Chains A and B, each alone.
Chain A
Amino acid sequence: MKAFSELIVKLGSSTKTNEKLEALSHYFATADDADKVWVIALFSGRRPKRIISSSFLQLWCLEITDLPAWLFEECYHTVGDLAETIALLLPERTGALRNAGLAFIISQLTALEKQDENAKKDFIVRTWLQMNKDDRFVFNKLLTGNFRIGVSQKMIVNALAKTVNLEPNIIAHRISGNWNPFTTSFNELLSDQLSAVDYSKPYPFYLAYALDTEVSDLGREEEWQAEWKWDGIRGQLIKRSNEIFVWSRGEELMTEKFPEYDDLRSLLPEGLVLDGEIIPSIDKKPLPFALLQTRIGRKNITKKNLQDAPIAFFAYDVLEYNGIDYRNQSLCQRRIILEEIVASVNHPVLLISPIVEFSTWQQLAHIRNSSRDMGAEGIMLKRKSSTYQAGRKVGDWWKWKIDPLVIDAVMIYAQKGHGRRSNLYTDYTFAVKDGDKLVTFTKAYSGLTDKEFAEVDAFVKRNSLEKFGPVRTVKPELVFEIAFEGIAASSRHKSGVALRFPRINRWRQDKKPGEINTLDDLKKMLDAYGKT
C-alpha cells in the first residue's frame, strides 16, 4: 500500500506532466506485478465493489476518536473530502501493516463483501490503526468507491511503455479492452508474447496546415477538392478481426466512449480504416462541439448522454479497404471507394462529409462565409491527386478557417455546475457595458481549465453581493473573452441579441472591467453578421 499511496501523493502534488510521468514509470518499474494490475484497473475505471456505506466509516471514526458528530461535520466541511477527513482525524497508528500491497488489501476487502458488519468493522478499524495518513486516505478512497486517478490514458501508456516491451498503441488497446483485474495477471495483460498481430493499430494521421497565403495562390481550382472543416474530434474508425476500434488524433483509443459505433460492426466490411470526424449529430446535421465535450470527460456514458449528444462519424477518407493499404492511391480514387462504402452501409451513424462544389476561388470564399450556418469552422482544401501522407506535411492539404466572433465581457452572475463540478461555481452570465450600466447578453460554460475554474470559484465565493436561489450576484470584476459562431436579433433577450454557440474563449486577466465591449459593439456585430 505504501508504494501506491506514495504514487498517489506524487500524482496529486506534481504540477508538471513529466513529473507525473516519472512517478508513474518509477512505480511500474518497481512495484509488485499484482499491484500494478490494480493501478491500471483503477485508472481505467475498474473499481472493486463497495463493501460498506460511508456513513459507517464516519460512525466508526467517531467511536475511535470520541468526537461529537457536529465537530466531525465541521472538519469535513473544512477538508471537503470524507476519505481525507477520516484519515486526518484518526489517532496515530499503533502498529504497521506487514507486506500488505494494494492487490492484497483489495482481495481482503472483496473477501469481506458477504460478511456481516462486525467483521467489516473489525478489519477496517484494525487496518486504519496500522496505517499512516497517506495510506489511510488511499484506503478510504478505495472503501468509498469514488477513487479516480485522473491521469490521461496516454500518460499511463507511456509510463508502461518504459517497462514493458510493447508498442504504446498495443498497450492502449490491451488496457482499454475487456479484462478483469481479479483474474488477469500483469503478464497476461501486457506480455509481448501475445502481441503477434495488433488489429487495433491506426495509421498516422495526415494533418493539414493552416492556409497562410491567398487562396488563389494554390493554383487552378479544378485540382482541388473542398470540404467543410468540422469542429469535432478527428478520428480513425477501424474494423478488423470483427471488432470496431476508434482512435483519436491524440492516439487515444476511444472505442468505449462511443457505443453508437457498435452498430457498424455488422455493417462495415472487414479490413477497413476510415478517417473522419467524430461529431454529435441529429438528422445528419452536426451539433456544437460543446455537446461532445459533455461526454468526453466521462468514464461512464449515461443513457441521457446518448440521447442528448448522439454521435456520428463524418467520414472523409478511406485508408484501408479489404485489408489493403490505400494510402498511396489518389484522393479522387479513395473518394470513390469511400462514397460506395458509406452508401452501402446506409446507417445514420456513418455519414459522408460532403464535397463543397465550386468553380472559382472567389465563389468558394463566399461559400466559406456561410461555414457557421453549416456548423463548420471553415473549409478544408485537399489536392485531388494527393496521397494520404503521415503527419503534418506542407503542400496538399490546407485548412482555411474562419475566425470566431469574440467579445470581452464581465461576469456578473454565477451558478454551481453539474456532476463533477457540482460544488464549484462554473456557470456564468456575462454582461457588456451600456453607458454606465451593465447589460447581460449571454451565458457561457466551457472553456476554462480546472485550475481556472477553481480560481474563479474562489473569487465568486469571496465576492458575492447577493443570492437569488442558486444564483449569486458577483462583483463585476473578472473579464472574459466570449467566442461565438453567430449572432441574431432576439426580442426575448434584454440585450436584443442571441448568440450561437457562445463559449468562454479565455480569461482576460490583463483587462479591467472598464475595458470591456459595449452593447453598441454587439449591435454592430449584429449588423455585420446577423443578416443571413
Chain B
Amino acid sequence: MQLIEFTESGLYCRQGDFYIDPWQPVNKAIITHAHSDHAKPGSRHYLCHHFTAPLLKLRLGDISIQSLEWNEEITINNVKVSLHPAGHIIGSSQIRISFNDDIWVVSGDYKVEDDGISGAFEPVRCNTFISESTFGLPLYKWKKQEVIYENIRQWITESHQSGKTPVIIAYSLGKAQRVLQCISTITDNIFAHGAIWNTQQALLTAGWKLPAIKRVIPEMPKEVFKNSVIIAPPSADGTPWMKKFSPYSIGVCSGWMQVRGNVRRKNADAGFALSDHADWDGLLSAVKATGADKVFVTHGFQSAFSRYLNENGILSAEVKTAYGGEEEEQEKPSTTTEQENEINTAGE
C-alpha cells in the first residue's frame, strides 16, 4: 500500500489518517503553504509551519491550528511527520512523512533559489517525491534574483525619468514581499493596493520586519503618487483603480513573462520573469537531490516533466490534483502563434 494515496479529497495518508493540502474539508489537514489552492477552508484541524499559521488565519478565519518549527518531528498514528523549507513563500514547507522505512516528501510549491525571505529550500532524502511542475519545461530558466532586481530598479528609474509612475504587478502573497525587498533599496515612497497592504499587516503583526508601505486610498489626490512606486496584484491590472496613477508604466513580475507574447498580451510595458516556483533546472536538481526512485508530478507541465524523468531513469507518473489556482499558476497562458509574435502594429 502506498503511504500516500491520491483520493477525491486530496493526498491522503491512511496509516496516519491525515491529508496534505486537501481540496475538500477533512478531519486533519497538513498545509504546505498559505496560497488558496493549497489551503482550503472547512477542515477540522490544521497543521502547518509557525510562519504559515497567521497567514492561514488571515485567509480562513478562526480555525483550529497547530504549528511546527522546520525539522521538528512529530508522530501521528505511528507516522513521523516533519516540515522542511520549500523556499516558495513565507512559511512554505515540504512535508516529510515516514512509516517504517518508507519515506515520502510532498513538495507543495517550491523554488530552489534562496530569495532571502521564504527560507532556503532544503533537499530532503526520500523514496518517493511528489513534485509540482508549474514551470516544467526547459524554456523556463530564471536569471539570478539579483539580476532581475537590478532590472526592476533600472526600469523604475527610467519610468520616473520619463515622468511616469511605475506600477508593479505582483501577487500579494510572495511576490509582493520580494518586490518590496528589491525596491526598498532605492525608494521609501511605496504605495500598495489594499490586498497587498492586508497581507503586509498580517505579516507585521506576526513579527516580520518589512519595509514600510502606504495604502492607496480612494480619496488620495493624484499628486501624492508622483515619484512613488505602486505595487498592485494582477486583479487590479487594467481596472479603473489604476487611473489615478496616470501617466503610468506597468511592469509585470511573473515567470510567464519569460515568453514575449505574454508580455504583450498583458499589455505590459515591461515583463520581469521573477517567479516563486522552480525553473526547469531547479525542478531537476530538486528531484535528483531527494534521491527518490519514484516521483509523482502534480500541477503544471506534469506530462512533459514526468515523461522526461521516465526517459532519464526516474520512475515517474502524473497525478491529477486540484492545485494550480494560485495566482502565478492560474495565469498559465494559452499557446501563442508565430503570427502574433511578429513585431506587429498593423492596426496603425
Contact = CB atoms under 8 A, between A and B. Distances in A.
Given A77-B335, A88-B258, A150 B139 contact: no
Contacts of B217: none
Given A11-B343, A68-B308, A88-B258, A78 B348 contact: no
Nearest to A152: B348
Interface residues of B, number: 36
Interface string A146-164: 1011111011000000000
Interface in B334-348: 334-348
A75 B342 CA distance: 18
B261 A81 contact: yes
Nearest to B304: A74
Contacts of A462: 334
Given A150-B345, A152-B348, A422-B339, A13 B269 contact: yes
B137 A15 contact: no
Contacts of A13: 260, 263-264, 268-271
Interface string A83-115: 011001100000000000000000000000000
Contacts of A84: 259-260, 341
A71 B137 contact: yes
B153 interface: no
A454 B269 CA distance: 18
A451 B347 contact: yes
Contact of B269 (A15, A88, A149, A154): A15
A77 B337 CA distance: 8
B344 A450 contact: yes
Contact of A85 (B139, B267, B346): B139
A151 B138 CA distance: 32
Contacts of B243: none
A420 interface: yes
Interface string B202-213: 000000000000
A12, A20, A151 — which one has the most chain B CB atoms within 10 A of its CB? A12
Interface string A240-259: 00000000000000000000
Contact of B304 (A71, A80, A461): A71
Nearest to B258: A88
A82 B139 CA distance: 12
Contacts of B344: 148, 150, 450
A458 B334 CA distance: 7
Contact of B348 (A74, A148, A155, A454): A155
Contacts of A11: 343, 345
A65 B138 CA distance: 9
A115 to B, nearest CB: 28
Given A71-B308, A461-B334, A462-B334, A79 B259 contact: yes
Nearest to B303: A74
A17 interface: yes
A513 B138 CA distance: 42
B335 A80 contact: yes
Nearest to B308: A71
Contacts of B311: 68
Nearest to A19: B269
Contacts of A88: 139, 141, 258-259
Contacts of B138: 65, 67, 71, 75, 89
A449 to B, nearest CB: 5
B24 to A, nearest CB: 26
A451 to B, nearest CB: 7
Interface in B136-161: 137-139, 141
B72 to A, nearest CB: 39
A151 B344 CA distance: 7
Interface residues of A, number: 47
Nearest to B140: A88
A81 B308 contact: no
Given A8-B343, A68-B308, A420-B339, A151 B348 contact: yes
Contacts of A80: 261, 335-338, 340-341
A265 B341 CA distance: 39
A67 B307 CA distance: 12
A333 interface: no
Nearest to B342: A148
A151 B343 CA distance: 8
Given A71-B304, A79-B259, A17 B137 contact: no
A79 B139 contact: yes
B267, B342, B343, B344 — which one has the most chain A CB atoms within 10 A of its CB? B343
Interface string B18-54: 0000000000000000000000000000000000000
Nearest to A448: B347
A149 B139 CA distance: 25
A450 B336 contact: no
A155 B343 CA distance: 14
Nearest to B268: A13
A36 to B, nearest CB: 17
Contacts of A344: none
Interface in A103-138: 137
Interface string B253-266: 00000111101110
Nearest to B263: A13
A205 B269 CA distance: 37
A421 B270 CA distance: 26
Interface string A453-472: 01000100110000000000
Interface string B306-348: 0110010000000000000000000000111111111111111
A449 B270 contact: no
Interface string A406-435: 000000000000001111100000000000
A300 interface: no
A150 B337 contact: no
Contact of B343 (A75, A150, A152): A150
A12 B304 contact: no
A78 B343 contact: no
A312 B308 CA distance: 59
Contacts of A297: 346
A89 B269 contact: no
A14 interface: yes
21 contacts: A12-B260, A13-B263, A13-B269, A17-B348, A70-B307, A74-B304, A75-B137, A77-B335, A78-B139, A80-B261, A81-B260, A85-B139, A88-B141, A146-B342, A150-B343, A152-B345, A297-B346, A423-B340, A450-B346, A454-B340, A458-B334
Given A84-B259, A297-B346, 7 more contacts: A68-B308, A75-B139, A80-B261, A151-B348, A152-B348, A155-B348, A454-B340
In order of increasing CB-CB distance, the 6 nearest A-B pairs are A80-B336, A423-B337, A150-B344, A81-B341, A88-B139, A152-B348
